[in-house]
Amino acid sequence: MAGRRRASKHGVVVLCLLLASLVACGGRPAADDSARTDVQRVLDLRAAAVLDRDRAAIARTGAADWWSDLSAVPLASWAYKVTSVHRSGATATATADAELRYQVQGYDSAPVTVGRVLDLSLDASGHWYVVRERPAAKAPQQLWDQGPVTVVRGRHSMVLGVGQSGEKLHSFADLADRAVPAVSDAWGTGWSRHVVVLVPRSLDGMAGLLGSPASSYRGIAAVTTGETGAPAEAPADRIIVNPDAYALLGTLGRQVVLTHETTHVATRAATTAATPLWLSEGYADWVGYRGTGRTPAEAAPELAEAVSARRVPRSLPSDADFGFSGSATGLALSYESGWMACRMIADRWGEAKLDAFYRAVGAHDKRPGAVENALAKTLDTNLRDFTTQWRDYLRDRLD
């Protein structure tokens, strides 16, 4: 962020800036505003053509070859907002920064917003047209950036894939359709009760959709994304699958993973900055394993081994313990520890109390004190006693 300038030293500069909007100091601001207005007009036409599914109208605004990649996706809205136009002098080319806002029909309650960059050129008649559209720097890709999207609809789900067979995408729809009722049975029905699942071609595709290096997600079967701090009426999260890791899972493992991620979608409105990861991830695992008949030793093998070796964790895992860049064993211990904490609450206080505890933590206005206050309010205990009970529970169930 640029530092503030002293008006007494730079009065001429400040005066020029103040007058720019009125008399176009130097001529450039007015020209830039004109280009921005012209580009916005073209992108408005382009957006309308996308919603009308009119390839010929799209082509009149520029390149249309990407439409075949997007065309299968059902859209309720599609709009661009130009934020800046970069042009060197009077050249026939420019680059525009824009926000793309879109909704998947029947699934998004509000637009998803992503940063895009558009390469532009002037045609023979002096009108701008789009040469290419791409993700903005550090912004995630959209699935259609990776190739033609295939869409499969389930009873409670929509699965979008690139480079995947229809049979494979139907298998994910089946998993999601079983996950949604399972989550509603545990959490309640006060959520959208449907999910969007994205299945890219590979781990690299998954990383592109998340805007992160592939190494961050190697071995992670799926993740759920959401707009950080978004309100309850924000768009539904996307469950993004790592097809490389998913292929290594058995039938039960695949279902547990999809149910876990679906839980994140259902609980997002109650999950805030006050919610520690041991609770959000532990609760999602608790719902994922609920009703499967898996014993603690079967579902938490790394933690069982640690407890048997008299290496009982001294405290609940921190958020940092859930980092994907750490060891696989350490990450497994963190997830399993959170799951056992939630399992203990359900066993000793009841499932209704577990849900009440989760919501009470998320309702706190900040992280410090959130867990402590919720423990006192809903479980009539404190963090020290709760941690002691959890450690005893680990020994009792895993040793």
pLDDT recorded at residue 328: 85
Residue 19 confidence (pLDDT) above 70 = no
Kindly list the strands in the beta sheet with 93-104, ordered across the sheet, starting from the edge strand earlier in the chain.
75-86, 93-104, 112-122, 128-135
Cα–Cα distance measured from residue 315 to residue 331, given in angstroms and rounded to the nearest whole number: 15
Which residue has better confidence, 17 or 144?
Answer: 144
pLDDT digits (tens, 9 = 90+) for 180-195: 999 999 999 999 999 9
Cα–Cα distance measured from residue 390 to residue 132, given in angstroms and rounded to the nearest whole number: 56
pLDDT digits (tens, 9 = 90+) for 318-340: 999 998 766 888 999 999 999 99
pLDDT recorded at residue 109: 83
pLDDT digits (tens, 9 = 90+) for 93-136: 999 999 999 999 999 888 889 999 999 999 888 899 999 999 99
Angle of the 166-187 helix axis to the 251-267 helix axis, nearest 10: 60
pLDDT digits (tens, 9 = 90+) for 215-245: 888 889 999 986 433 444 445 589 999 999 9
Which residue has better confidence, 10 or 44?
Answer: 44
| Domain spanning 23-139: CATH 3.10.450.50 | yes
Q: pTM here?
A: 0.88
pLDDT recorded at residue 219: 85
Cα–Cα distance measured from residue 350 to residue 337, given in angstroms and rounded to the nearest whole number: 19
Residue 18 confidence (pLDDT) above 70 = no
Domain made up of 143-267: CATH architecture:
2-Layer Sandwich (3.30)
CA atoms within 13 A on the CB side of 12: 1
Cα–Cα distance measured from residue 286 to residue 279, given in angstroms and rounded to the nearest whole number: 10
pLDDT digits (tens, 9 = 90+) for 193-207: 999 999 999 999 999
Three-state secondary structure call for residue 76: strand
Q: Where are the domains of the chain?
A: 23-139, 143-267, 271-399
Among residues 41, 45, 109, 101, which one has the least CA distance to residue 77? Answer: 101
pLDDT recorded at residue 353: 98
pLDDT, averaged across the chain: 89
Three-state secondary structure call for residue 147: coil
Calculate the alpha carbon distances from 179 to 171, 199, 263, 311 in Å.
Answer: 12, 17, 8, 34
Residue type, 147: G
**239 phi, psi to nearest 5 deg:** -90, 115
Q: How confident is the model at residue 61 (pLDDT cuts 50, 70, 90)?
A: very high
**CB-based contacts of 383, cutoff 8 Å, min separation 6:** 371, 372, 375
Whether the CB-CB separation of 107 and 75 falls below 8 Å is answered with no
